[in-house]
Amino acid sequence: MKDLVSYCPIEEVMQVLSGRWPTLLVYYLKDGVKRFSDLKRDNPTVSHKMLTFELRKLEHAGIVQRKVFEGYPLRVEYSLTAGGRGLVPLIDALGDWWDQLPGAVSMQPKIHQSALTGE
Protein backbone atom coordinates (compact mmCIF):
# COMPACT_ATOMS: atom_id res chain seq x y z
CA MET A 1 0.00 0.00 0.00
CA LYS A 2 2.03 2.91 -1.26
CA ASP A 3 -0.33 5.53 0.00
CA LEU A 4 0.65 9.00 0.85
CA VAL A 5 1.70 9.13 4.45
CA SER A 6 0.24 12.48 5.30
CA TYR A 7 -2.03 14.28 2.94
CA CYS A 8 -0.10 17.49 3.07
CA PRO A 9 0.53 19.60 -0.03
CA ILE A 10 4.27 19.16 0.39
CA GLU A 11 4.05 15.51 -0.24
CA GLU A 12 1.88 16.08 -3.25
CA VAL A 13 4.22 18.60 -4.87
CA MET A 14 7.19 16.41 -4.27
CA GLN A 15 5.42 13.62 -5.99
CA VAL A 16 5.30 15.74 -9.09
CA LEU A 17 8.67 17.42 -8.82
CA SER A 18 10.69 14.47 -7.61
CA GLY A 19 13.14 12.99 -9.99
CA ARG A 20 15.70 14.26 -12.36
CA TRP A 21 13.53 15.73 -15.10
CA PRO A 22 10.56 17.71 -13.81
CA THR A 23 12.50 20.72 -12.55
CA LEU A 24 14.82 20.65 -15.53
CA LEU A 25 11.90 20.62 -17.91
CA VAL A 26 10.30 23.54 -16.12
CA TYR A 27 13.57 25.33 -16.57
CA TYR A 28 13.90 24.66 -20.23
CA LEU A 29 10.33 25.77 -20.69
CA LYS A 30 10.64 29.00 -18.80
CA ASP A 31 12.20 30.59 -21.88
CA GLY A 32 9.06 29.99 -23.87
CA VAL A 33 7.44 27.46 -26.12
CA LYS A 34 9.34 24.33 -26.99
CA ARG A 35 8.57 21.41 -29.20
CA PHE A 36 8.91 17.86 -28.06
CA SER A 37 12.03 17.41 -30.14
CA ASP A 38 13.51 20.59 -28.67
CA LEU A 39 13.18 19.23 -25.19
CA LYS A 40 14.62 15.98 -26.40
CA ARG A 41 17.61 17.86 -27.74
CA ASP A 42 17.97 19.87 -24.54
CA ASN A 43 18.15 16.67 -22.52
CA PRO A 44 20.04 14.22 -24.65
CA THR A 45 20.03 11.59 -21.94
CA VAL A 46 16.31 11.39 -21.32
CA SER A 47 14.60 8.52 -23.05
CA HIS A 48 11.74 9.06 -25.41
CA LYS A 49 9.37 7.31 -23.08
CA MET A 50 10.47 9.14 -19.98
CA LEU A 51 10.17 12.50 -21.64
CA THR A 52 6.61 11.75 -22.70
CA PHE A 53 5.77 10.49 -19.27
CA GLU A 54 7.26 13.41 -17.38
CA LEU A 55 5.58 15.91 -19.65
CA ARG A 56 2.25 14.18 -19.09
CA LYS A 57 2.77 14.33 -15.38
CA LEU A 58 3.48 18.03 -15.50
CA GLU A 59 0.52 18.54 -17.77
CA HIS A 60 -1.83 16.67 -15.47
CA ALA A 61 -0.54 18.70 -12.59
CA GLY A 62 -1.43 21.89 -14.40
CA ILE A 63 2.14 23.08 -14.72
CA VAL A 64 2.65 22.53 -18.41
CA GLN A 65 0.40 23.13 -21.36
CA ARG A 66 0.36 20.87 -24.39
CA LYS A 67 -0.73 22.09 -27.78
CA VAL A 68 -1.06 19.78 -30.74
CA PHE A 69 -0.85 21.02 -34.31
CA GLU A 70 -2.36 18.39 -36.54
CA GLY A 71 -0.74 17.95 -39.91
CA TYR A 72 2.23 16.23 -41.28
CA PRO A 73 4.65 15.96 -39.78
CA LEU A 74 2.90 16.15 -36.45
CA ARG A 75 3.86 19.03 -34.24
CA VAL A 76 3.41 19.46 -30.50
CA GLU A 77 4.35 22.48 -28.48
CA TYR A 78 4.85 22.64 -24.75
CA SER A 79 4.81 25.69 -22.56
CA LEU A 80 4.37 26.63 -18.93
CA THR A 81 0.91 27.50 -17.72
CA ALA A 82 0.41 30.65 -15.70
CA GLY A 83 0.58 28.57 -12.57
CA GLY A 84 3.64 26.79 -13.83
CA ARG A 85 5.42 30.06 -14.30
CA GLY A 86 4.90 30.72 -10.62
CA LEU A 87 7.02 27.72 -9.88
CA VAL A 88 10.14 29.10 -11.49
CA PRO A 89 11.10 31.58 -8.76
CA LEU A 90 10.50 28.93 -6.13
CA ILE A 91 12.90 26.58 -7.82
CA ASP A 92 15.34 29.44 -8.13
CA ALA A 93 15.07 30.03 -4.42
CA LEU A 94 15.91 26.41 -3.77
CA GLY A 95 18.96 26.70 -5.97
CA ASP A 96 20.13 29.83 -4.19
CA TRP A 97 19.58 28.25 -0.81
CA TRP A 98 21.58 25.25 -1.89
CA ASP A 99 24.47 27.36 -3.09
CA GLN A 100 24.67 29.10 0.24
CA LEU A 101 24.22 25.99 2.27
CA PRO A 102 27.51 25.43 4.10
CA GLY A 103 28.92 21.99 3.84
CA ALA A 104 27.18 21.45 0.58
CA VAL A 105 29.91 19.09 -0.48
CA SER A 106 29.08 19.37 -4.12
CA MET A 107 27.24 16.20 -4.86
CA GLN A 108 28.63 13.23 -6.60
CA PRO A 109 27.35 12.62 -10.12
CA LYS A 110 24.79 10.26 -8.76
CA ILE A 111 23.96 9.28 -5.22
CA HIS A 112 24.00 5.54 -4.98
CA GLN A 113 23.10 3.98 -1.71
CA SER A 114 26.49 2.40 -1.85
CA ALA A 115 28.07 5.83 -1.99
CA LEU A 116 26.94 6.50 1.54
CA THR A 117 27.22 3.09 3.09
CA GLY A 118 30.38 1.79 1.56
CA GLU A 119 33.45 3.83 0.73
Binding site for DNA (CB under 7 A): 19, 35-37, 40, 46-50, 52, 55-56, 66, 68, 73-76, 112-114, 117-118
Helix or strand holding residue 75 (H, E): strand 75-80
67 binds, among its own copies, DNA, none (CB under 5 to 8 A by kind): none
Instruction: Return d(Cα 58, Cα 88) in angstroms, integer.
Output: 14
Which of 73, 118 has the CB closer to its own copies?
118
Q: Which is nearer to DNA, 47 or 108 (CB)?
A: 47
Q: How far apart, in whole angstroms, are the C-alpha atoms of residue 60 and residue 16?
A: 10
Q: Which is nearer to DNA, 68 or 101 (CB)?
A: 68
Interaction between residue 66 and its own copies (CB under 8 A): no
SS3 119: coil
CA atoms of 108 and 99, how far apart (whole Å): 15
Which of 70, 117, 88 shows the shortest CA–CA distance to 29?
88
- Span near its own copies by CB under 8 A; candidates 30-38, 58-66, 71-79: 58-66
Q: Which residues contact 87 (CB under 8 A, 6 or more apart)?
A: 26, 63, 80
Binding site for its own copies (CB under 8 A): 2-6, 8-20, 23-24, 27, 43-45, 53, 56-57, 60-63, 81, 83, 86-87, 90-91, 93-107, 109-111, 113, 116-117
